[in-house]
A and B are shown apart, each in its own frame.
Chain A
Amino acid sequence: MTATPPSKSASPIQNIEDLRAYLVIAMQIEHATIPPYLTALYSIRPGSNSEAVEVIRSVAVEEMLHLTLVCNVYNAIGGAMANTLTADGFIPTYPTYLPTGETEFEVGLRGFSPDTIATFMQIERMQEEAEDAPLVVARQHSCLGMLPGAGEGQQSFYSIGLFYAEVIRRLFELCQELGEETVFCGDPAKQISQDYYYNGAGSVIVVHDLATAIQALRMIQEQGEGAPRGHRIYASSAVGDHALAHYFRFQQLQLGRYYQTLIPGSDEADTPDAPTGAPMNAAELDYESVYPIKPDLRLADLPEGSDVRAKALDFQQRYSAFLGELERAFDGAPEQLIPAVGSMFRLRTLADELVRTPIPGLEPLHAAPLYTLT
């Protein structure tokens, strides 16, 4: 009766481990976008580029939500959080390719510039396909058991949205194979709920079955690139206010005009690439009003014994500690998320200090936050 083709993988157990591995990669993807966004954001001089600041800030905050959503799905299917966010290699060495396996563009830690915005649009890009073409290949033609990454025996995904499409399909397949109860065997106490997640970036979804897992993953897809079918520029929202997808938020900076998700006097939203809203304040968009931070800064760039090196090291250590706090919060101590967020805000202050500090010997270049594990 079932039309689901038989799995080609060796065993269902292997499949569920495979799926967990995918979700660990998803954590890496979500996290990998945050340092580039924050570096560009912090590089903007206070009091300037307020529209760009709001665009980048709002996206970065949603990436944090996405990381939380991925961890909820991971915990719901019985994944073990230990040594995920704190694992060697969890933070990539920038510049880097995204862990989707796509090697068309690299992502770095750069100051705010038109090039940086172009890269951010690449991060959030979506697959375009003809009216009668499928969005993804038929299941029996995909590569079960292959993890994302560049090179032989690896799979690559054009967009983050398509990476999640694959996760959703694997999850669906596993539930057919093993039953939903078997797949969603995780400890409900490990879910991060609204009780511990405060901010304005949509709402966190508690995951306990296939439908809620797909809801959570769908939110990540839509907030990034919008809804691919029908080419909508916004993400769905139960409260009726359609939030523009990340790709289009960044594109506004490029096109100098705001999108409208509801054109007055009509029930329509703008179509992709053609915003009709108010122009951005051109006088205000000032790529010069940016601290000249050293791109992809490494510790070795900072002279031994210098104060700026000490400060960068301090940031690095605190960032590592912060990821450890997050990992514990996601591993059954959700109440720890509140102090962890406190640490995050303290990091912000330190990052601001770094971008304002010239590097001795490399003037006029400034320092920047160092996102490496210690």
Chain B
Amino acid sequence: MTDRPHLAPFLALSAQLTGFSIVDLEGTGMAELYHDVALDRLGHDGLLALLAAEAPPGSGPVEQGPSASQRLIRLWYTGLWDNTLVDPQAYREGLLWRAIETNPPGSRPPGYGTWALEPSLRATLARGLASLLLVLALMLGWGDQAQAASETDLLRLKQVNSCTGCDLTAAALARSDLYGAAISTSDLSGADLSGSLLNDARLVRSTLVEANLENALLIGADLSGSQLSGADLRESHLTNAILRGAVLLDAALDGADLSSADLRQAQLAGAHLAGANLAGSRLQNADLSNADLSNADLRHADLRKAVLDGARLCGADLQEALMPDGRRADGLTPAC
């Protein structure tokens, strides 16, 4: 049996941070694993500093990113350490499910029809307002500013409109004015940028996995080589944007304006492009397999050497489009 001299203080601190009792935490069966993960990721000194509450926010052994305590809260609630699930079991044992009184989807059956029952907030309230707010923040994805993004980086972006190579994960930036911002190679995974003004912003090779960019203004923005898988780009404005080689697997682009956008070599497999405006866009060598292009405007689009296997094109307007085989489309709208 491994000796864990710091397990007791680790649990005590965890109880304070999460708003759950030590008994609750032990009940998850994850205490020892999480202790070991924290020890491994923070190092012995890092863990001791955390237990002694010496670590000021944002100054862990990792230079940028959330503080150790923020990471620990996230670990208990979601089973994630820096967006990686530490153990399959950690998913179903996340405190998140208890806090919102539901069962982890796909993991513990909740019982037929129970989804129709109203949740009782009593138990949650008993754990105190702090933990409730935390849960709300996690659910809505905006409180994650304190959870993830480096506060220093976020502040820098807001002050100088520039932050390259920064940790802006889950940053709350909805409806922000980031016109022409320089944010290349930054991590904006899970960030909320919905409705933001990002015209001419430079976001080269940035990570925007699962980011919320709904209705964002990204006209002329440079997103070449960026990771946008699972991002929500519905109704966004991407006219003349550069998305060359960008990865947009399963991204939601319904109703987005991508006219004249450069999407060469973009990976759009499974992307949702229903009703999107792709007029005059450049899609050479793009992978559109299984993408939903129904009712999309593809007039004058250049689809040479693009992969369209399994793509839905019903109702799409292909007038004057250059097809994968290099020929002009016959102008007929594919039937549904």
Residues of A whose CB lies within 8 Å of any CB of B are 1-5, 131-141, 165, 168-169, 172-173, 176, 211, 214-215, 218, 222, 227-230, 232, 235-240, 242, 267
Query: Could you tell me the dominant secondary structure of chain B's interface residues?
Result: loop
Do A238 and B300 touch across chains, with their CB atoms under 8 A apart?
yes
Closest to A3 in B: B176
Answer whether residue B293 sits at the interface, using C-beta atoms and an 8 A cutoff.
no
Q: Which residues of A contact B217 (CB under 8 A)?
A: 172, 211, 214
CA A74 – CA B93 in complex, angstroms?
Answer: 57
Closest to A242 in B: B260
Do A134 and B237 touch across chains, with their CB atoms under 8 A apart?
no
Given contacts A138-B159, A230-B242, are A239 and B300 in contact (CB under 8 A)?
yes
Do B220 and A4 touch across chains, with their CB atoms under 8 A apart?
no
Given contacts A236-B259, A238-B299, are A131 and B176 in contact (CB under 8 A)?
no
Q: Which residues of B contact A131 (CB under 8 A)?
A: 182, 184, 202
Do A138 and B158 touch across chains, with their CB atoms under 8 A apart?
yes
Size band of the interface chain B makes with A:
35 or more
Q: Which residues of A contact B131 (CB under 8 A)?
A: none
Q: Which residues of A contact B200 (CB under 8 A)?
A: 135, 165, 227-229
Given contacts A218-B219, A236-B260, are A138 and B160 in contact (CB under 8 A)?
yes
Do A4 and B199 touch across chains, with their CB atoms under 8 A apart?
no
CA A238 – CA B297 in complex, angstroms?
Answer: 10
Do A214 and B161 touch across chains, with their CB atoms under 8 A apart?
no
Nearest CB in chain A: distance from B256 CB, A? 12
Given contacts A3-B174, A215-B239, A229-B222, are A138 and B161 in contact (CB under 8 A)?
yes
Do A240 and B177 touch across chains, with their CB atoms under 8 A apart?
no
CA A136 – CA B201 in complex, angstroms?
Answer: 10
Query: Could you tell me the dominant secondary structure of chain A's interface residues?
Result: loop
The 7 closest A-B pairs by CB, nearest first: A135-B180, A236-B260, A236-B240, A240-B300, A134-B161, A240-B280, A138-B161
Q: Which residues of B contact A5 (CB under 8 A)?
A: 158
Given A135-B182, A230-B224, A237-B280, 8 more pairs with CB closer than 8 A: A1-B174, A132-B184, A137-B160, A139-B177, A141-B159, A215-B237, A229-B221, A238-B299
Interface string of B241-269 (1 = CB under 8 A from A): 01000000000000001011000100000
What are 24 pairs between A and B in contact, CB < 8 Å? A3-B158, A3-B173, A3-B176, A133-B182, A135-B200, A138-B159, A138-B160, A139-B177, A168-B179, A168-B197, A172-B179, A214-B217, A230-B220, A230-B242, A236-B260, A236-B280, A237-B260, A238-B300, A239-B279, A239-B300, A240-B260, A240-B280, A240-B320, A242-B260
Answer whether residue B81 sits at the interface, using C-beta atoms and an 8 A cutoff.
no
Nearest CB in chain B: distance from A274 CB, A? 19
